[in-house]
Amino acid sequence: MKVLAILLSLFLGVLAQHGDWTYSDGAVDQKHWAKYYKTCGGKRQSPINLQRRVVHYNPTLKRLNLSGYEAQEGLFPITNNGHTVQIELPPTMVLTAPDGTKYLAKQMHFHWGGGHSEMSGSEHTIDGIRFMIEIHVVHYNAKYKSYDIAKDAPDGLAVVAALCEVLNDAENTYYSELISHLKNIKYAGQSTTLTGLDIRDMLPNNLHNYYTYLGSLTTPPCTENVLWFVLADSVKLSRTQIATIESSLLDYQNQTLRNDYRKTQPLNNRLVQANFKDFSSSGE
């Protein structure tokens, strides 16, 4: 019995280490996150559907100030963590929010679909439309000494999100290097390094127009401390690039990592604001 208990605790330890949750398979799929991670059933969860007819235009919201995002040299670890590909970012990348609060970059990762051909996988939707891929650049409030402290603080985190669309066969060369490294981190837990990075170029052309609201992490423990900025302009990738992202990585069960997005969550009377006016028309 004691041996069994020890074995069980070792087993649970391994699970906890890898994150024992999944998007769609097994006991802790996203329908059941809230059973094991209570906050996932909370009232200010992310992602949400950005319904443009209820978005509030706020002309006093300033532009985002993203500094240190341009081309930089160095070693940037990228990891297949079993849920996504994650790039570690240096704290020299700084987001200044419209209210002046400074947030330091921590990591960037992606959510995608690919469950079957042409199946999209963004987390936020706009008027119900799910985009192909969603990019998250995760930052923590600079008033905290580290990400580990900030991640549990009520005003700890800010995420800049961008949505990706297909642009036929036009390769987005700003993504070529990252995508070429995916084959080296096929297995969950594997890492490699990028020797240069230009996050500015990997984001949409227009960084000025955004939607903003108070939400949560979109993965367990779903902490409700994230100030979200969802950029209105999108990133364009080729069909081949999207297919490569959707098929290159395996999870800890050696299953192809697909559909790693959370379904949209209830808004619950939260205010969604935009700093630009023409969001209710389709074009810009």
Of residues 108 and 276, the one with the C-beta less far from Zn ion: 108
Q: How far is the CB of 86 from Zn ion (least distance, A)?
A: 9
Buried b (16+ CB within 10 A) or exposed e, 218-244: bbbbbbbbbbbbbbbbbbbbbbebbeb
Is residue 136 a contact point for Zn ion (CB under 5 A)? Answer: yes
- Contact (CB, 8 A) for 234 and 162: yes
CA atoms within 13 A on the CB side of 33: 22
Residues near ligand NAG, by CB under 6 A: 65, 67, 94, 96, 102, 253-254
Decide which of ligand NAG, Zn ion, none touches 136; Cβ closer than 5 to 8 Å per partner kind: Zn ion
Of residues 66 and 230, the one with the C-beta less far from ligand NAG: 66
Of residues 101 and 193, the one with the C-beta less far from ligand NAG: 101
Of residues 124 and 136, the one with the C-beta less far from Zn ion: 136
Look up residue 91 and give its DSSP letter: T
- Contact (CB, 8 A) for 215 and 148: no
Q: How far is the CB of 41 from ligand NAG (least distance, A)?
A: 30
Decide which of Zn ion, ligand NAG, none touches 65; Cβ closer than 5 to 8 Å per partner kind: ligand NAG
Distance from C-alpha of 261 to C-alpha of 103, rounded to nearest angstrom: 24
Scanning 112-120, 128-136, 198-206, 269-277 for contacts with Zn ion by CB under 5 A, the matching segment is 128-136
Q: How far is the CB of 216 from Zn ion (least distance, A)?
A: 11
Is residue 106 a contact point for Zn ion (CB under 5 A)? Answer: no
Q: How far is the CB of 151 from ligand NAG (least distance, A)?
A: 21
Q: How far is the CB of 189 from ligand NAG (least distance, A)?
A: 10
**Annotated catalytic residue 83:** yes
Buried b (16+ CB within 10 A) or exposed e, 40-57: bebebbbbbbbebeebee
Q: Which of 32, 56, 83, 208 is catalytic?
A: 83
Of residues 212 and 241, the one with the C-beta less far from ligand NAG: 212
Decide which of ligand NAG, Zn ion, none touches 254; Cβ closer than 5 to 8 Å per partner kind: ligand NAG
Cis peptide before 47 (omega within 30 of 0): yes
Residue nearest to Zn ion (CB): 136
Q: What is the rounded (10 degree) CA torsion for 267, 61, 224, 146?
A: 160
Say whether 129 sits in a helix, a strand or coil: strand
Tokens (6 digits) for 216: 């949560």
- Contact (CB, 8 A) for 172 and 237: yes
Binding site for Zn ion (CB under 5 A): 136
Active site residues: 83
